[in-house]
Structure 1
Amino acid sequence: MEDRPPDPPATLEEGRHVSFAQVVARSVSIPPVDVEFKKLTLYFGEPAVFFSKEEVARSELSFKSTLIGKCSFGKPSLFEIKSYLKKAVYIQGDVIISTLDPRHVLLRFVDHSDFVKVWLKESLHIKGFPVRFMKWTSDFTSGWESPFVPIWITIPGLPINFYHGNFLLCIAGTIGKPLKVDGATGNCIRIVAARVYVELDLRNPIPSKIWIGCGGDGFFQKVVVERLPSYCCFCSKIGHVKESCRKALKYTLARDAVRKGKMIVQDAGA
């Protein structure tokens, strides 16, 4: 029999005994999202069901603190991943880790601050295996990489009165979703430039300046994005753009060959 500590004594809840297994199951369960039951319909002759954008958004709320770990060169065990995050990254709350496919694991964090802490690491070596982290989105499929990434932005020459409270978060929020303020910035120690970690969508253009309105006046503020990675919207991979994508090039060559073949057939029939 496997050696393990004995189960703790059952506790009383609403007058009933609750087992340790039930307590654990409840701690990792996903809160249900109720939607109106849908009637069967058809889409291009096939059975279909349709949900509104609002319903889909509600279904995603339980996974707002969820990451995907990509293991391209082998995968440590789920226990090893969790143990490493506890001991080396010092996450405070629990994390539920499960296998998505042979190369991906899903990490569901109970504490949102732990989610941010691990995501900002970008990648870790766990038991000799590199694990790269990306934000979970509902349209994730194997072979696809999320365009949402955490990036440091620098705001040089920002007046110091905008460093505290929600002022800085509002300013950084014009670029992306604020995740973390640099410690020296938050304490007004480094005031040459404010630094904030934000969540960016690499598919969208990143402005180099923003307008900060102050009553009836205001000023343009320069913004610098540090180490912005490339993203290919054709193959959905980080590290290159569409113009240098091999898949995009093969697709273009194949498409041009088909068009050329059609033109030859048309000329021959003329």
Structure 2
Amino acid sequence: MPAVIFKSRVYYGIMAEECKRTIVGRFLKQRPQIDKIRSSFRELISMKGSYKIGAYDNHNVSLDFSIEEEFKNVWFRRVIEIEGMQMWLQKWSPDFKPKEDIPVAPVWILLPGLPFNMHNWHYVKQILSSVGTPLALDVATASKTRPSMAKVRVEIDLLKPRIESVWVGNEDENSPLKGFTQKLEYEAILKYCKHCKKLGHNMLNCRVLERLRAKETLAYDGKEVVDNLEGAQLNNKESANANEMEIAKNIQPTLVDTQVNTNENAKDQEEEAEKNNDSGPVLECGQAQNKLKSVKVKSPCMAERTKNKKKKNNKTKKMLKKKSTVIFKLV
């Protein structure tokens, strides 16, 4: 990819001079039509010199002035209402980005108790040069109608810490160094959000940051709920395993006792069987009972009767055989 590199002193110096009297007007919502912005601006502010208003995108417009004094008068307003919408004004910079506000703004700085002989632009701008870029004196200071205090418009970087006081001294070859501490008071400083890089609010009441935190909180709560559920499931599983182990411990002695009793019963049966083998054949319980039922004990009288009955039957059979024999003789 081809590349073009400029020197910083050229980029921020000579090239920036082309837009040194350019202001960027930003609308928080979608801006009105460019023709309505031009007509409203013409009605609000009267200009002696020429100026141009052009559309940059749906939220930003550029205002370019030919006279330095008119450029400052518009920029010092900071906000202009057009078509019922606020247009925030900021000085153009080579670092301008359409979706970010430049953290530079003009503010009034008060110098209470400043010696009256120093109410002069040449001296005041030296006192405030470490604070920012001095822009102009207010009318009362310039006309020296308020000797108790000087008031100066200064362009400051909103991201830098505020300087609350400046030491002002004097010395020469014949007198030692002496001086005083000059207190500085800032009036109506614009807020700047470091998160979304917008003017008008800080990080404490940034809506973008609030939505981001709400999402993070919701995600954290969801993760915490999942972790709690997983922890509860794990605890339930551990409890179930512990209960199973406890049941197994309780059942094992019972099984051992049962096995011992079974072994003892089997041993007793084996001993009983050995005794029965010694006295004769052993019958099973059911067979023994049936055998006992089927056995009839015969008395001596019954034995005799049975014997006589058998003899009688044998005799009857012989007689029948004789009677059943037929012999034919020839005549």
| Partner of residue 90, structure 2 | 134
1:213: which partner in 2? 169
After TM superposition, give the deviation of residue 91 of structure 1 in Å.
2.5
Kept in 1, the 8 Å contact 2:167–2:181? The answer is yes
How far 1:162 moved relative to its partner?
0.3
1:232 aligns with one of 193, 196, 201: 193
Q: Mean Cα displacement is larger for which, 194-203 or 213-222?
A: 213-222
Deviations 1:132-168 (A, max 9, x none): 2111112222221111111011000000000024012
Contact 2:27 2:87 in 1 (8 A): yes
Conserved in 2, the CA contact under 8 Å of 1:202 and 1:231? yes
Q: Which AA in structure 1 matches 2:53?
A: I
d(CA) in 2 for partners of 1:51, 1:104: 27
The structure carrying a bigger strand percent of its residues is 1
2:295 — aligned with what?
Answer: none
CA distance in 2: counterparts of 1:97 and 1:153, whole angstroms: 30
Higher relative contact order (CA 8 A, sep 6+): 1
Whole-Å separation in 1 of the counterparts to 2:95 and 2:120 = 36
- Matched residue type, 2:184: V
Bigger Rg over Cα: 2
Are the structure 2 counterparts of residues 78 and 112 from structure 1 closer, same or farther at C-alpha, using a change threshold of 3 Å? farther
The answer on whether the counterparts of 2:121 and 2:137 sit within 8 Å (CA) in structure 1 is no
Correspondence for 2:9: 54
Aligned with 2:105 (options 143, 149, 156):
149
Q: Which residue identity lines up with residue 142 of structure 1 in the other structure?
A: P
Whole-angstrom distance in 1 between the partners of 2:44 and 2:191: 29
Q: Which amino acid aligns with 2:130?
A: T
CA distance in 1, matches of 2:135, 2:45: 17
Q: Matched residue of 1:48: which SS?
A: coil
Show the counterpart of 2:59. Answer: 103
1:1-270 superposed matches below 5 A: 47-57=2-12, 58-215=14-171, 216-242=177-203, 244-245=205-206, 247-248=208-209, 250=212
State the distance in 1 between where 2:121 and 2:94 align: 32
Amino acid corresponding to residue 201 of structure 2 in structure 1:
H
Report the AA paired with residue 218 of structure 1: G
**134-143 or 199-208: bigger deviation:** 134-143
TM-score by length of 1: 0.70
- Equivalent-residue separation in structure 2 for 1:101 and 1:47 (angstroms): 28
Q: Which moved more, 1:172-181 or 1:186-195?
A: 172-181
Does the C-alpha gap of structure 1 residues 207 and 116 become closer, same or farther in structure 2, counting only changes over 3 Å?
Answer: same
Kindly provide the amino acid, as one letter, of the partner of residue 237 in structure 1.
K
Output the CA distance in 1 between the equivalents of 2:122 and 2:63: 30
Contact 2:27 2:59 in 1 (8 A): yes
More helix by share: 2
Query: Do the aligned partners of 1:82 and 1:95 also contact (CA within 8 Å) in 2?
Result: no
Shift of 1:213: 2.1
Determine what percentage of the aligned residue pairs are the same residue.
Answer: 31
Per-residue Cα deviation, 1:15-53 (whole angstroms, up to 9, x for no partner): xxxxxxxxxxxxxxxxxxxxxxxxxxxxxxx54332221
Q: CA deviation at 1:178?
A: 1.5
Aligned length: 214
